[in-house]
Amino acid sequence: MLKNLFTVLLLPITLLMISRPCLAAEDYKIGIVTPTLSASEDEFRGAVRVSDKYPGRITHISLPENYSEEQETAITQIMSLGADPDIKAIIICAGYSGILPAIQKVKKKRPDMIVITAPIWDDPDMMVRYVDLCLDTDWVKRGITIPTKAQKMGAKTFVHYSFPTHMAKEVLSKRRDMMKKTCEKLGMTFVHINTPDPKTGAGSSPMLQFLQEDIPRQIARYGKDTCIFGTNCPMQDVIISKALELKFIMAEQCCPTPTQGFPAAMELEIKPEDAGNFDKINALITQKSKEAGTTGRLSTWPVPVGYFFPEFSTEVAMKLIDKKLARVDIPSLAPIARQVAGVDVYFDKMKPELDNYYLIVMDSIYY
């Protein structure tokens, strides 16, 4: 009698245990923080791509449009991600400074929270104490990789266009100096030319007009086996347009991406639904380059680094959470990066003593 009664009482509990679904390990979420679409298209679209790849598992938030005046709002937004117990990692792809205080507050309450920045621009020595993995582009190393690539593409001369306010920036002046040193090492002629400064006076118009007039002069002087490089984003439309006309070499833009300069110079018709489809965009550029007779003389990275970082960081974060990645070192990161980018990605420590802050350069696509 007692045995039967015990069975009757136990049965509902057993049924409840059977019918209640177990919380799967993969049910955690990842928070991704980017600027708005209008503030930084690549990072925003990169986060959207990851959201589509992992439906229901990504919480994507956009920082205020006017970030510099609304940093407290941004800090609150990031802390709200940290307050969600389902979120196990926060990825910040913003390119802003002043975000570290939010990370410090999240880590104080959630020491187990994985945080990846790709990038933010706070003090590196402080960041590595609170961030599991810090990522950025190796802007200075590109002073080696761009001239080296240009020479492989046939360049004998390297023309570097910039202006005083850009050359006052340490990272840009270091890159220029590295380009000059690399050119000398490779036996190439290095030429630096100052344009009108868009940060003073009448803005970009005089600079762009100068390029329209001066690039043909440089090609007439040095020949078609000349690589033209400009340090300013608006320059790229003119440089690529002139490359299509004069057949010189454009090894890489200031910001290496298929969407800088190429669409405008080539009058590409990119449908809204194809905005993040870089296989299609690269195919369009390749065809236009062939039609212009510049095959092999135009190059860039196959995907923007801002588009690459959200997906790459998410894959790293998931592997860390799932215990499939023991540490964030170059041998473990490089294969993940190649799978995401489709080309080799090269990592270097920002400083020899920092084991979780890496700078990257990416292999190229040639059109």
Return the pLDDT at 245.
98
Residue 183 has what pLDDT?
98
H-helix or E-strand spanning residue 365:
strand 365-366
Tell me the Ramachandran region of residue 9: left when phi exceeds 0, alpha when psi lies from -120 to 50, beta otherwise: alpha
What string of DSSP letters covers 301-347? -SS-HHHHHHHHHHHHHHHHHTT------HHHHHHHHHHHHSS-EEE
AA letter at 189: T
- Rounded to 10 deg, the angle between the 170-186 and 142-152 helix axes is 40
pLDDT tens digit sequence for 278-323: 999 999 999 999 999 999 999 999 999 999 999 999 999 999 999 9
Per-residue confidence band for 276, with pLDDT thresholds at 50, 70 and 90 = confident
Q: Which residue has the higher pLDDT, 367 or 15?
A: 367
Q: Return the CATH number of the domain spanning residue range 142-300.
A: 3.40.50.11390
Residue 366 reports pLDDT greater than 80: yes
> Which comes out higher in pLDDT, residue 255 or 7?
255
pLDDT at 7 > cutoff 60:
no
Strand partners, 58: 30
142-300 has the same fold as 25-138+306-362: yes
Q: Residues near 278 by Cβ (< 8 Å), separated by ≥ 6?
A: 258, 302, 303, 307
Q: 241 is written with which tokens?
A: 């347009």
CATH topology of domain 25-138+306-362: Rossmann fold (3.40.50)
Give me 59's structure tokens.
Answer: 């919480």
Instruction: Identify the helix (H) or strand (E) that includes residue 239.
Output: helix 235-246
Share of the chain above pLDDT 70, in %: 93
Examine the pLDDT at 201 and tell me if it is beyond 90: no
Examine residue 119 and say whether the peptide bond preceding it is cis (omega within 30 degrees of 0): yes
Measured at the CA of 146, the angle between CA 156 and CA 172, to 5 degrees, comes to: 115
DSSP codes, 119-160:
S--S-HHHHHHH-SEEEEE-TTTHHHHHHHHHHHTT-SEEEE
26 has a pLDDT exceeding 70: no
Binned at pLDDT 50, 70 and 90, residue 5 comes out as very low
Task: List Cα–Cα distances, 300 to 6, 270, 296, 355, in angstroms.
Answer: 73, 18, 11, 29
CA 244 – CA 238 distance, rounded (Å): 10
Structural domain boundaries in the chain = 25-138+306-362, 142-300
